[in-house]
Structure 1
Amino acid sequence: MRTAALQERRNRQILADIVRTYIETGEPVSSRAISRGFEESLSTATIRNVMADLEDGGFLYQPHTSAGRVPTAAAYRFFAQEIASQATISVTDREWIQREMGGAKTAAEITERAGHVLAEVSNGLGIVVSPPLSKTVLEHARMWLLPDGRVVVVLISPGGKTRDKILLPSRHFTQTELDATAEFLNRHYSGWTLETIRADLLQKLAAERERYEGIAQNALSFCDPGVLDDESASQVHVEGTAQIVGTVDFADQEQLRDLLAAIEEKHRLVTLLNACIEAPEPVHVLIGVKEISQAGDKLALISAPYMRNDLVQGSLGVLGPTRMPYERAMTAVAYVAQLFSEALSKI
């Protein structure tokens, strides 16, 4: 039924106009409102018939008798995939984003500015997820021994961004051994990610175990899968919490509390955005995000991966109300991801 309802170009255009009008006004859309702006000369009766077909197809619903129509999740999904995906960023937004992100010198500054831009264009959350430890590029490593035998590992990435983790190695290390291990990693593996370091060390140990048994084996202890697969090691920067709470209708206070908890905990955001990296589209749109919150049916997520030296490093995006300006938000996410990638590759 849904496919048949959208087969005609006229039906598709009317549906797109309804979604766009509802996004702009927030009010149920009448046939008269569509007829005034429609490129063809159609009577309100004809448009009402099309709207009824679209309602039967699951794209619209009528809040109450005699009211106009409101888009469903299927309508938003159609609009994002078929209409907004063809949009190009406006000159105004392009110049504004360039000004907002220009001049950032460090990864932290780039991340903060990107989050701010994304929050502004979506009236919701701007989210930037940094790579998990396995994807972290090493520029310099430091290690300190704690009195209880645990080890503090600090990884410094290009641009001065630091990641730290407290580990409990399978055997006891002295501070001298830790200094030697860090020096070995810094001398041989600066510019590598932890997962590629681990793969190379395993290969070397398999080929020349006697030569690499000591210091390389120690280094491998700090690149084990338990460290690399820890998803919580991903870091997430969030902007715009007040905006999303203010723009989405949360009559159910339990849903609001659940959403605020998800934003505060962040791990649900990390899991979802990391999963979106694998999506085939350059900009991925998810209408309804129950994975994040009980209020997820009122939310939409638009995300894109960002790169550093042609390698995917993480993801960024917007989480906002389903009634968000998809054309603007999708083009902005794509452009911010591009500028973010370019900036990271320069530091």
Structure 2
Amino acid sequence: MSEVRRLEVLRAIDEDYVHSREPVGSKALVERHHLGVSSATIRNDMAALEEEGLIVAPHTSSGRIPTDKGYRLFVDRISDVKPLSAAARRAIQTLLDGAGDPDDVMDRTVRLLSQLTNQVAVVQYPHLGRAKVRHIEFVLLAPRQVLVVLIADNGRVEQRVIRLAEDIAEADLADLRSALLGALAGTPLADVGARLAAGVPGVPAELGEALQTLGAELVHLSTLTREDRILMAGTANLARSTGDFPLSISPILEALEEQVVMLRLLSEMQQDARGVSVRIGSENPYNSLAETSVVATGYGPDSSAKVGVLGPTRMDYPTTMAADRAVARYLSRILAG
């Protein structure tokens, strides 16, 4: 049997099954694809592919569908990730360029990726263990009420309104901001508490209590900023693929809702030479995701955080990989700002 034709038959079965959701037979392959051989030859090729565990018959006397092993061979044989259409690239640029703060960027990213792939889209917020304090802002809302804003150097913003024990003048609040920013600018978020414990020079004694309250809130916000978290969109797309999950989609939904499983999985995934990572079905180390595939791409300065797609193993891998990689590139460009 020709190795090249065997891979062509596998590719054709994969493509037809992805689009039809129906097991694929030899007659359909001959009619839809220009393989240059007879149905009998294709049947022999399919028998060999089945023996290798690359395709399987879900029912007696039915056509064939790819196995996880078959999808893996197909994905590995994609020599390069095809570019998105010009229209899709313009849509990505238009939507993401119009974003505001980093949270808006993340929200737009997952909604856009879900629309492009018709799957569940997931974005992991940037890893912030190495992030540093870029800016601090205090806004006086009332004599004892202050909006505290902490901005990290990766663009992440955390803010909260707090109440002071005593009234404070706007000029005094500005002095405290200058003193704290001078002490903390460029400090790693993980070290904010230790840096403040060492003391903040130049603050009058009468402002000591306000300094302590504001400093404690900055420590709290820096801890929030370091937390790993993800954002998702398109979960409803799973409901349209219930036929791809013979048992139940409940474990998948629970894994998405808890987020811990997805955070671990995304953190573990390593990009290949094409700039993407693909986990197919049983390759996922978590039982709840054993009937799904995950395509992810790193973004940001060190590509440590991931943006990705989760869906059934019956996935249009070339298109999904292209969309995910393109969105990751635009996201990196915007955050680098």
TM-score scaled by length of structure 2: 0.75
**Structure 2, unpaired ranges of 5+:** 139-147, 161-173, 202-211
Residue 82 of structure 1 deviates from its aligned partner by 1.3
* Residue pairs, 1:11-160, within 5 angstroms: 11-83=6-78, 85-141=80-136, 155-157=150-152
Residue 43 of structure 1 deviates from its aligned partner by 0.3
Aligned residue in 2 for 1:337: 328
User: Within the alignment, does 1:268 sit opposite 2:261 as a pair?
Assistant: yes
**Greater Rg by CA:** 2
Aligned residue in 2 for 1:259: 252
Change (3 A) 1:316 1:41: same
Residue 214 of structure 1 deviates from its aligned partner by 4.9
Secondary structure, aligned partner of 1:29:
coil
Aligned residue in 2 for 1:172: none
The letter of the residue matching 1:109 is: D
Aligned residue in 1 for 2:315: 324
TM-score scaled by length of structure 1: 0.73
Runs of 4+ aligned residues of structure 1 deviating over 4 Å after TM superposition are: 179-185, 212-216, 227-230, 289-293
Change (3 A) 1:124 1:268: same
User: Within the alignment, does 1:244 sit opposite 2:219 as a pair?
Assistant: no
Among 267, 276, 280, which residue is 1:283 paired with? Answer: 276
- Whether the aligned pair in 2 keeps the contact of 1:268 and 1:291 (CA below 8 Å) is no
Residue 213 of structure 1 deviates from its aligned partner by 5.8
Deviations 1:207-253 (A, max 9, x none): xxxxx96559x99xx99xxx6997xx11211001111233133443x
The letter of the residue matching 1:27 is: E
- Whether the aligned pair in 1 keeps the contact of 2:50 and 2:56 (CA below 8 Å) is yes
Secondary structure, aligned partner of 1:285:
strand
Aligned residue in 1 for 2:142: none
User: Within the alignment, does 1:312 sit opposite 2:303 as a pair?
Assistant: yes
The letter of the residue matching 1:78 is: L
The letter of the residue matching 2:258 is: E
The letter of the residue matching 2:329 is: Q
Q: Percent identity?
A: 29
Secondary structure, aligned partner of 1:140:
strand
- Whether the aligned pair in 2 keeps the contact of 1:107 and 1:161 (CA below 8 Å) is yes
**In 2, Cα distance between equivalents of 1:213 and 1:48:** 76
**In 1, Cα distance between equivalents of 2:181 and 2:251:** 43
**Structure 1, unpaired ranges of 5+:** 144-152, 166-178, 203-211
Residue 184 of structure 1 deviates from its aligned partner by 6.3
Change (3 A) 1:239 1:13: same
Deviations 1:305-347 (A, max 9, x none): 111xx3336211101111121111100111100100111111x
Change (3 A) 1:137 1:274: farther
Residue 128 of structure 1 deviates from its aligned partner by 0.8
Residue 293 of structure 1 deviates from its aligned partner by 5.0
Secondary structure, aligned partner of 1:312:
coil
Change (3 A) 1:261 1:181: farther
**In 2, Cα distance between equivalents of 1:101 and 1:213:** 41
**In 1, Cα distance between equivalents of 2:333 and 2:280:** 29
